[in-house]
Amino acid sequence: MAKDSRTRENEQTAQEKIYINRELSWLEFNRRVLMEAADLTVPLLERLKFLMIYQSNLEEFFRVRIGILTHRALLTPDTPDPLTRMLPETQINEVLRIVREQQVMMETIWKSIRDELQANKVEVLDFRKISKVDELMSKKLFGDIRDMLFPKIIGMDQPLPFLWSGETHIIAFLGRGTDQRLCIIPLHRIPAYQTFEINGCQKIVLTDQLVRHFLPLLLKKENVIQSCIVDVTRNADVFMTKDEIQEDDDLRQKMSGMLSKRKREMPVRARIFGKLTDPARALLIKKLHVMENRVFTQSVPFDLSFRSCIGGPAGFRYPERKPSRDIGLKKGEFFEYIDRKDLLMSFPFQSMMPFVDLIYEAADNPEVESIKITLYRMSGSSKIAAALAYAADRGKDVLCLLELRARFDEQNNIDYSEMLEDAGCRVIYGLPNHKVHSKLCVITRRDDSGLVKRITQIGTGNYNEVTGEQYTDLSLITAREEAGLEAESVFEALEKGEVPPEVSHLWIAPASFESRLLEMLDREMAKGEKGHVSIKANAINNRQVMDKLIECSRAGVRVELFIRGICSLRPGVAGMTENITVTSVVGRWLEHSRIYSFGDGEEQRLFIGSGDMLNRNLERRVEAFIEAVTPDTREQLNEILTALRNDREKGWIMQTDGSYLRDPEGAGTSSQEALYRTFSERRVTLAEPEEETPEVPEPEPETEVRPEEPETTRHTSFRDLFHKLFRS
């Protein structure tokens, strides 16, 4: 018995050694983003964009993940990470060490990009070595913004004014000898850059460096000893308790209060641009109330948004790849097509506008009774929100579940909840203990005979037209009755404030996602070496799923994981994960779709949906998945998996030690380019009626789906509604 216990302990210890800490795995992903900025085969301005993304990713990482770890280090310092047994403070220290290593790479990459820009007659001004002409032009630009600057001078014994998270400030040390003071100049309402041109060379002047350079002109009566540019990152790990959410008070008002609180949270990082003496730096850090090891001095500008003002030759950017708007169906043809066949759309190779057309078609169809949809993140001027508002204006029962806790989109969703309510939509919110992260829509209609039919859409990405052109995502639309009935049951539960129940055909988290996933893995494990699992997702760190994947590997099952970001499982470990491969594709578009494939040939089961294999997706979120059952949808999903399998250009292969390598000879195998060619040219057509089905005369255009009313009245009504929704 003791021997069996020791054996189990040894196996558990061996398994823990093949797990990777979540935070460290994410940093490895961000390093791959940084490597795209260093890749000389990537066009120059696209490399600059990847550098921007790297910095933006890191900003959010500190706000959220380091914010969470900081709270854990204060509240539960002796509670380790369950996978790797690392304590919170240990994780933070390791993160800071890696970020400093990556900063050296980032600064080298920035210098290379800046030099290449200058070689192409685009110069980002460096005020340490500026020409007289550039100095004169810059002085004029400084004069243009001078009246927008409001310096605040305080004594050395006074606290700093509050510095808002993510906003740039100039801090200067003034005076002589012991009579010194501090000057703080916020720049949050001033454009980040200005430009001018001399002799065909575009000059880019960064506002923070411009103001710092001309401080003596701004502070004429003061003696400026030294100065720097400062950016503070504040903790965003602020949340409402279960009791607060369940109270009957206005949830929108509570969310607004939480957002206000978040703005004033403690700093988790500070960045300094500019050299200070050691005493001045120490004093500044003390006044910022941030720990010394979380202060980073960098030479890369905090804001690289000037990229948008650079013209240059076509070779500066990726070749144009516009989403295909034409999938072969026009508004008015979607219902007829979907009644006969499932429709799969792949973004950003195809446009999201056909789905918007489907909502408008539903709005104008007199048979349609209701539209129900879950909304997590929407674009600033959402066409989908406008279509839903139009449907409500046309008398449809439109139910919108808006998840107010979509991090950093909370205010946007609060605003949309008010707009959609004003438009006549019914608006409900997420559950107390579960975010509603599903991408689910159900359209219900009743024909003249009283027969109820449903169209169900389940996607992998948000109803957001902007990210629909930036992320790879999938959307499956079907008239399968079992899917529609089960999707309706999800909305019935959500309307009651309940967690959706387990259903038969769909996978719904948290009720059945994990159990169905493990069941499918058991199915493949029973096949031994004939088993095959291919999963494309954004992240994996769930212990139960990873343990089952290890069992599959040990049984001889071939396991392919295409994981863009966090992957806490090491592949290729002898006797444990030697049959598992992990690939991460980082390219022009953000890989975001989720595909779960089990088996091969006719026995293959294929699912798409909204959730990754993170603990939060399996346990604390409402997710929805649907199986692809028709030959054409299955074929398209397999085309995606094949393209990923063959990608040696943008695919990074995870090594046993957790690092990633890419094939240096892999040019021309980009999965994204291959899939763009495939899906942008794909068209569908209305199926011919079955032979035994009597022919029905084609209706006159519009008469079948539009009740009689003056055309001008309809457009005027919607125009007024649209302005009401999206007024400035």
Is 437 part of the annotated catalytic residue set? yes
The Cα 314–Cα 319 span in angstroms is 8
Residue 319 lies in a domain: no
pLDDT of residue 705: 33
Residues 459, 464, 469: CA angle, nearest 5 degrees? 90
Spatial contact of 670 and 647, defined as CB atoms under 8 Å apart: yes
Residue pLDDT, tens place only, 686-710: 865 444 434 444 444 333 333 333 3
397 and 419, same domain (yes or no): yes
- Is the pLDDT at 250 greater than 80? The verdict is no
Residue pLDDT, tens place only, 181-230: 999 999 988 999 999 999 999 999 999 999 999 999 999 989 999 999 99
What is the number of alpha carbons within 13 Å of residue 626 lying toward its C-beta? 31
pLDDT of residue 15: 56
Residue 6 lies in a domain: no
Active-site entry in 169, 437, 532, 592: 437
Tell me phi and psi for residue 347, to 5 degrees. Answer: -100, 150
The Cα 407–Cα 169 span in angstroms is 25
647 and 514, same domain (yes or no): yes
Confidence of residue 308 (pLDDT cuts 50, 70, 90): very high
- Record the pTM: 0.89
298 and 159, same domain (yes or no): yes
647 and 619, same domain (yes or no): yes
Residue 692 lies in a domain: no
Residue 431 lies in a domain: yes
The Cα 572–Cα 553 span in angstroms is 10
Residue pLDDT, tens place only, 525-552: 999 999 999 999 999 999 999 999 999 9
DSSP string for 67-114: HHHHHHHHH-TT---TTT---HHHHHHHHHHHHHHHHHHHHHHHHHHH
Residue pLDDT, tens place only, 571-605: 999 999 999 999 999 999 999 999 999 999 999 99
Classify 45 as helix, strand or coil: helix
pLDDT of residue 260: 54
Residue bearing the bigger pLDDT, 718 or 277: 277
Torsion over CA of 463, 468, 474 and 477, rounded to 10 degrees?
A: 50
For residues 462-470, give the mean pLDDT: 93
The Cα 422–Cα 464 span in angstroms is 21
> What is the extent of the structural domain holding 299?
123-307
Confidence of residue 713 (pLDDT cuts 50, 70, 90): very low
Tally the domains of the chain: 4
Residue 444 lies in a domain: yes
Q: What is the DSSP letter of 161?
A: P
Classify 8 as helix, strand or coil: helix
Residue 643 lies in a domain: yes
473 and 519, same domain (yes or no): no
For residues 294-312, give the mean pLDDT: 95
When the pLDDT of each residue in the chain is averaged and rounded to a whole number, the result is 89
pLDDT of residue 5: 54
Radius of gyration of the chain (CA): 28
CATH of the domain at 413: 3.30.870.10
166 C-beta neighbours (distance < 10 Å), count = 17
For residues 311-321, give the mean pLDDT: 91
Q: Which two tokens stand for residue 9?
A: 């302990």
Q: Which residues of 235-334 form beta strands (DSSP E)?
A: 267-273, 295-297
pLDDT of residue 404: 82
Confidence of residue 718 (pLDDT cuts 50, 70, 90): very low
pLDDT of residue 687: 60
Residue 693 lies in a domain: no
What is the number of alpha carbons within 13 Å of residue 105 lying toward its C-beta? 18
For residues 386-409, give the mean pLDDT: 90
Q: Which residues lie closer than 8 Å to 592 by C-beta, 6 or more apart? A: 460, 461, 467, 471, 472, 473, 538, 564
Residue bearing the bigger pLDDT, 246 or 402: 402
Residue 266 lies in a domain: yes
Confidence of residue 126 (pLDDT cuts 50, 70, 90): very high
Residues 548, 549, 552: CA angle, nearest 5 degrees? 90
pLDDT of residue 715: 37
Confidence of residue 178 (pLDDT cuts 50, 70, 90): confident
291 and 377, same domain (yes or no): no
209 and 279, same domain (yes or no): yes
pLDDT of residue 536: 98
673 and 525, same domain (yes or no): yes
- Is the pLDDT at 20 greater than 80? The verdict is yes
